[in-house]
Structure 1
């Protein structure tokens, strides 16, 4: 196991930092002396998180699916901090719906934000990571290890970012840059609580998960497990599709029936983060100044 490198004084960029995992991780890292750059879509929330993180924090409003917005953010981060030591690609949204009933735009947007947003984020910050011989942590999910019905867009995107990060790890090794993937199950966040209510699921403690993420960052770990039990699933991931199919057909059919009765709004991205992304995409363009 790699010896931990103290995070104090290092610059950490976290996407999806307005709430949930991103906000909690930023606060914990700031408590340990890191300087944090918070990236997200909700200015008021980002400002509040930055205030809690102290004078070493700054925030940047950015849609991670936009290369132009990311380029501006990278320039802003470099100007404010001088470089980047750690990048945490955390931004993501989710929806729960069978493909047959899902809104196509909402379904595609989950993949666009979670997968392409992560790829574009890494591409944008990569020159700064190479310069610092830094570390990139991709936030994935238990859904990357075990296919799950009704969240197939989310699962596909998280399996995609896992494959992306682990493949990129080998590419970056020669540049001295480390890379890892973090897996989390249903955690006590805004998005987790919404998903938990719909599935009547027990949520896992947020503080414990954040502690494991911080440890993974300090050790530049290849695999980080937000909950210990997930480690046990990696060796048996080959049998998980069959198990899920066998046990999940009945619940999936019942869920589809209830969703059909709820109407199209039931397949919208869930939680405040999902609403923020929808709002950002549908907001009218500002009028040009005279």
Structure 2
């Protein structure tokens, strides 16, 4: 029996589903016949994505860092579509620039959404996953093991999300709930395109080895990640060849530091290195919603 057949008719929850990889994942899972709950900041965008899906959907506008709101979202999703068999903690934002001059609120917000938001997602939906013996997938990043300069908040949040998922996996294994981690590389989302508008961040990526700076289409990355859902994989790499980097993790910080010693002074020739603020349309939506977050069922 194929995993696709097993998933048909079951419920999947995707956070950060309004755009980018989250929207791509909803399409992949819908093709497997799953009912899809789309969670995110922008209800109108969520509904636009939902209208493109050939399955039953449910949209819920929510701040993933709000524990009480996420608990209400979990109850609403279960009432509408049933207990989830798959939950993907995908919601994420980023900012760039030197740590010393970064805006403290923006820096903290990246940690809150990417790490605290993932934990709140897991906590809210674990009762459902326990009842279905389901699968929780944490969207991490190569930033979890290859921390780069000028991206301290994002790298710290993704390393924390990886560690959180590893701990959760150890706790859930005897309870038959699978926990996976997706290591995603540069993906053609508005967040990455926005980062490339900033000269220093664009040039920083240009100084990477050719293979490391390649950007992959959302649809392709979503297909790689969805295949991990089919298999309840403990790890997935997008692209798959990234698994070859894992044995090099102990030496990566030394390599990054060595390259940064000569690269950052050269990048400064392009002009002052200024903080970027929250990147992409998703980051801007989060920034505008802070302080007035109308939860929408």
Cα shift at 1:258: 5.5
Q: Distance in 2 between matches of 1:220 and 1:150?
A: 34
Tell me which residue corresponds to 2:209: none
Q: Distance in 2 between matches of 1:99 and 1:261?
A: 11
Tell me which residue corresponds to 1:173: 173
Tell me which residue corresponds to 1:251: 263
The yes-or-no answer on 1:231 pairing with 2:243 is yes
Q: CA RMSD in A?
A: 1.9
Q: Distance in 1 between matches of 2:58 and 2:294?
A: 26
Tell me which residue corresponds to 1:18: 18
Tell me which residue corresponds to 1:207: 219
Cα shift at 1:256: 5.8
TM-score where L is the length of structure 1: 0.91
Q: Distance in 1 between matches of 2:294 and 2:37?
A: 26
Tell me which residue corresponds to 2:124: 124
Q: Judging changes above 3 Å, is the alpha-carbon distance between structure 1 residues 5 and 179 closer, same or farther for their aligned structure 2 residues?
A: farther
Q: Distance in 1 between matches of 2:279 and 2:232?
A: 31
2:30–2:55 CA contact under 8 A, matched in 1: no
Q: Distance in 1 between matches of 2:234 and 2:145?
A: 15
Q: Distance in 2 between matches of 1:229 and 1:142?
A: 12
Q: Which runs of 5+ in 1 are unaligned?
A: none
TM-score where L is the length of structure 2: 0.89
What are the within-5 Å matches in structure 2 for residues 1-290 of structure 1?
4=3, 6=5, 7-198=7-198, 199=202, 200=206, 201-255=213-267, 260=272, 262=274, 266-283=275-292
Q: Distance in 2 between matches of 1:90 and 1:284?
A: 19
Cα shift at 1:249: 2.5
Q: Which runs of 5+ in 2 are unaligned?
A: 207-212
Of 132-141 and 165-174, more deviation after overlay is shown by 165-174
Of 162-171 and 194-203, more deviation after overlay is shown by 194-203
Give the count of matched residue pairs: 281
C-alpha distance after superposition, 1:89-113 (max 9, x if no partner): 0001000111111000000110011
C-alpha distance after superposition, 1:30-84 (max 9, x if no partner): 1221111000001111000111113411110010000121011011101101211
C-alpha distance after superposition, 1:119-143 (max 9, x if no partner): 1110111111111100000000000
Q: Distance in 1 between matches of 2:170 and 2:294?
A: 41
Cα shift at 1:230: 1.2
